[in-house]
Structure 1
Amino acid sequence: MSADRNESRGHGLAPLRTATVDLDAFRRNVRTLAELVSPAETMIAVKADAYGHGMVPIARAALEAGASSLAVLDIPAALALRAAGVTAPLFAWLHGPSSDFAAAAAADVDLGVSALWQLEAIVAARGGSRPRVHLKVDTGLSRNGATVEQWPGLVRRALQAHRAGEVVLHAAWSHLADASPEDDEVALGRFHAALEVAAGEGADFPLLHLAASSAGMRMPAARFGLVRFGIAAYGISPFDDATGADLGLVPVMTVQGAVSSVKRVPAGTGVSYGFAYRTEGETTLALVPLGYADGVPRVAGPSASMSIHGKRHRIAGRVAMDQVVLDVGEADVRVGDIVTMFGPGEKGEPTAEEWAAWAKTIGDEIVARVGPRVQRTYRDDRP
C-alpha cells in the first residue's frame, strides 16, 4: 500500500472506543411498548447499568417517555438513582443477608420479598418507615420466589405485618421462564392458583405483575396491572423468530472504535494469537482497539464482522483482550477511520442481534457486556 494510506484521515481526538446511546430512540421504544400494553402500566428495567447503556440517563428518559416506575436489581442501584434525584417508584428484588433494608425503607424503595427471612429483616430494619413489599411466588423459573409450600406462610406473615402498620402489602408477582408458550401458560396458571391461595388468607393485592418483555408483547393474559419491560425497551427482540425492527423497535446503542494501525501483508500471513487465521492473498489488515474486555465475544470471532464506511469486513484471527484485526482487502482504510461493531443496522453495520447469533447467545448479553472503558456518549434531540 502507499505510505499515505497509513496516515490518519484527521478524525481529531475521537476516543479509541465509544458506545453512543440514542435516548430519542429509547423514548420511542418505551412509548411503543407502553401503547401496546395499555391500560397496564409500564415498568422499565434499568438493572446492570441499564443493560450497559447507563442507568441514570436511561432512567430519566424512561420516565420522560411515560414509564410509571423503574426496576433495578438490588438496593444499592435504587439508592444510586435516589441520589441522582429520581423520585419515581423503584422496585428492587434481589437481596442477601447483608442488604441494607433500612436505607431502602428510608429511600421509599419497593422491595420484592421471596422468603420469610427477607420479610422479617425488612420489618426489623424499617425504622419509622412503612415500606411497600411485593410478594414473589415461584411459578416455575426456580430462581427466587416462595415455593408452593412456603407461599401461604409468607402471605400470612405479610398480612400480619401489614395490619400492624409495619409494611404495605402492595403486590404479588412472579417471573416467567420464556421456555415455550405452553410452559408460560402453565406458569400463568400457577400464578392464578397462588393468588387464590392468597385470597383465601385474606390478601387483596393492589397490584399484580408477571410479564416481562416477551410475555408483555405476546401474552396479553399475563399483563395484569403492570409489565416489566427490559431488553425490548433497548430495541432488541426477546424472540428468536423476530428482530427488533420487525417489532417496530430501534436499537439504542452503537459501539464503535477508531482504526489504530493499518498494514499491507502478503499471502499466508498469520494473524493474532495461535495463527487461527492466515491471509489467502495479499491484503490489508486494520487494527481496531475493541476486544473481549470491551464486550467483543471471543467465541464470535470466526463468524463476525465489523463495518468501515458502510462496508463489512471480517474479523481476522482470534479476538484479543484489547483489540481485533479486520481483513479489509483492497479497501481504502486509514488510521482514525471509524469502525462500527454494532448499531441499528441502518447503514449496513451489524446489529447486536447479529452478534448474538454469531456468539450463540442473546442480544441482552451483547449490550450488557460492553465494558466500562468504552466511553458512553448520549444522543438527545430534546431541547
Structure 2
Amino acid sequence: MSTNYPYYPARALVDLAAIRSNVRALAAHAAPVAGRSAQVMAVVKADAYGHGLVPSARAAVRGGATWLGTAQIAEALALRAAGLTGRILTWLYAPGAPLGDVLDADIDVSVAAPWALTEVVAAARERGRTARVHIKVDTGLGRNGLLPAALPAFLAGAVAAQSAGLVEVVGIWSHFAFADDPTHPTVLAQADTFDAAVRLAERAGAHLEVRHLANSAATLTNPRMHYDLVRPGLAVYGLSPVPDLAGPQAYGLRPAMTLEASLATVKTVPAGSGVSYAHAYTTTQDTTLGVVPLGYADGIPRHASGSLPDHPGGPVRVGTGGAARTLAVAGRVCMDQLVLDLGPDAAEQAGDRVVLFGDGLDGGPTVQDWADAAGTISYEITTRLGDRVPRVYLGQD
C-alpha cells in the first residue's frame, strides 16, 4: 500500500492456498504426454497479476512451480532479493537495461533482437559470468521476438558467443496470438513455425534445456503445445483464460482473490434523485443509497458504471447468507467511490461488508463478471487493482 498506513476501508484477500492448489492442478494438466512431463513456470509479472509478487511467487513454488517468470527486470531482481532461489526468466527490457545485475543474480534473460544479444554478451564479459539466454521467436503474434527469417544469422552470433563461454543458449520460446481459441488455424501454424525454429537452434549448436510455447490457455486446452515447460499466468490465480469454453472449476482452479469493502454512507433519497456524476442513474422510487469506498483510483473500471435501463453497472454482493443479494453499480464510478441502489427496504448499515468479486461459489460476483460488465478481460480487472488497496494474505504456510 503506497501510503504505508494500516487503515483502508477496502481490502483484497489473497488466498495463497488457492495459488498453491492451482499450480498443482496446472502441473497435472502438464502431466506426461508421450512419456514426457512439462515443468511449470508460474508467471508472476505485473505484481503477480495484482495479487502481490513475492507472496504469490512463494506460494507458486510451494505448489510445484520450478520456474518463475517476470516481464520486467525489477520484478525478477525483487524475487531474488526476497530469497527465491529457483530458476527465473525475465524478458522485457530496452537498450541500456541493467543486464549485469540480472547476470549477477543468476536470472535467465530473453533475447528478442540482435541488439539485446550484443548487450547481454557485453554484460557477461564485464561481469565475468556466463549468461543463460532464451531466444524469443515471433512465430505469428507480431509482437516481441525475432522473425524466422532473421533467426539463422542471429543463431550464428549466439552460438559463437556460447563457444566463447559468454552465453549458454538454454531456451527458445514464443507466444500465441489465439491460444484462447484452441482450434484457430494460427495455433497450429505457430506451433509449426516454432518447431522449425527449434530444429534450427538445435542444428546450430544451442544447448537447449527448455522449449516453451504454452500460456495458460494452451496449458489447459492443448497438450500438443506443452513441450518442456508451460508458462501459465492467469490460471495460477484461479481464473479461466478461456471463459467462453469453461470457467475455473472445470479446470480444477480456484480464484485466489476476493475484493471487499465496508459500506461508508448509507442514506435514503426520494424518487427522481440523480446519483453520481452527470446523473447517469436516477432513482425510480424512494430508496436507500450505499456508498462503497472504492473507485477508479483503486482500479475499479469506470466502464463498469451503471445507468438505467440500458446499462447495468458492475456487480456487488451485499448482505450475508440467505439474505445476500447482488446489485449493480448505480451511476458513474468515481475516483474513490461508487454507489449502490440498495432499494427501499434496505437493512444495510454503514460498516457492513460488501464483496465486489470472489470465487463465486456462493453465487456472488466474480472477476469475469466484472470483466463482462466493463467490456474487457479478467486479466485487466486484477492487474489494475491499485496498490493503495491492502492485500491481506490468507492460507500462508
Q: TM-score normalised by the shorter chain: which range applies?
A: over 0.9
Q: Please name the residue that 2:3 is paired with.
A: none
Take 1:200 and 1:108, find their aligned partners in 2: how far apart are those partners? 27
Q: What are the ranges of 5 or more consecutive residues in structure 2 without an aligned counterpart?
A: 1-5, 32-36, 307-311
User: Which residue of the other structure, out of 212, 217, 220, is the alignment partner of 2:215?
Assistant: 212
Q: Please name the residue that 2:64 is paired with.
A: 66
Q: Please name the residue that 1:27 is paired with.
A: 20
Aligned residue for 2:250, secondary structure, equals coil
What whole-Å deviation, never above 9, does each CA across 1:305-336 have from its counterpart, x for those lacking one?
A: 20111311221111111100000112201010
Aligned residue for 1:82, secondary structure, equals helix
Asked if the contact 1:178–1:214 (Cα under 8 Å) also holds between the matched residues in 2, the reply is no
User: Which residue of the other structure, out of 306, 309, 313, is the alignment partner of 2:316?
Assistant: 306
Aligned residue for 2:235, secondary structure, equals helix
Q: Which runs of 4+ in 1 moved over 6 A?
A: none
Aligned residue for 2:245, secondary structure, equals coil
Q: Please name the residue that 2:382 is paired with.
A: 367
RMSD of equivalent CA atoms: 1.3
What whole-Å deviation, never above 9, does each CA across 1:159-178 have from its counterpart, x for those lacking one?
A: 11111100111011111112
Aligned residue for 1:198, secondary structure, equals helix
Asked if the contact 1:15–1:258 (Cα under 8 Å) also holds between the matched residues in 2, the reply is no
* TM-score, with structure 2 as normaliser: 0.91
What whole-Å deviation, never above 9, does each CA across 1:351-378 have from its counterpart, x for those lacking one?
A: 0011111111111111111111111100
Take 1:217 and 1:42, find their aligned partners in 2: how far apart are those partners? 12
Q: Please name the residue that 1:255 is paired with.
A: 259
1:187-336 map, 5 Å: 187-239=190-242, 240-302=244-306, 303=312, 304-309=314-319, 310-329=324-343, 330-336=345-351
Aligned residue for 1:245, secondary structure, equals helix
Q: Please name the residue that 1:134 is paired with.
A: 134
Letter in 1 for 2:132: R
* TM-score, with structure 1 as normaliser: 0.94
Letter in 1 for 2:293: P
* % identical aligned pairs: 45
Aligned residue for 1:44, secondary structure, equals strand
How far off its partner does 1:90 sit? 0.6
How far off its partner does 1:204 sit? 4.7
What whole-Å deviation, never above 9, does each CA across 1:67-122 have from its counterpart, x for those lacking one?
A: 00100112111111111111111100011012100000100000011111101101
Q: Please name the residue that 2:173 is paired with.
A: 173
How far off its partner does 1:301 sit? 1.8
What whole-Å deviation, never above 9, does each CA across 1:164-203 have from its counterpart, x for those lacking one?
A: 1001110111111126432111100111121233334333
Letter in 1 for 2:71: L
Aligned residue for 1:371, secondary structure, equals coil
Q: Please name the residue that 1:340 is paired with.
A: 355
What whole-Å deviation, never above 9, does each CA across 1:263-294 have from its counterpart, x for those lacking one?
A: 00110000000001000101000001011111
Letter in 1 for 2:394: R
What whole-Å deviation, never above 9, does each CA across 1:188-243 have from its counterpart, x for those lacking one?
A: 01111212333343335221001110111111111000000100111110012211
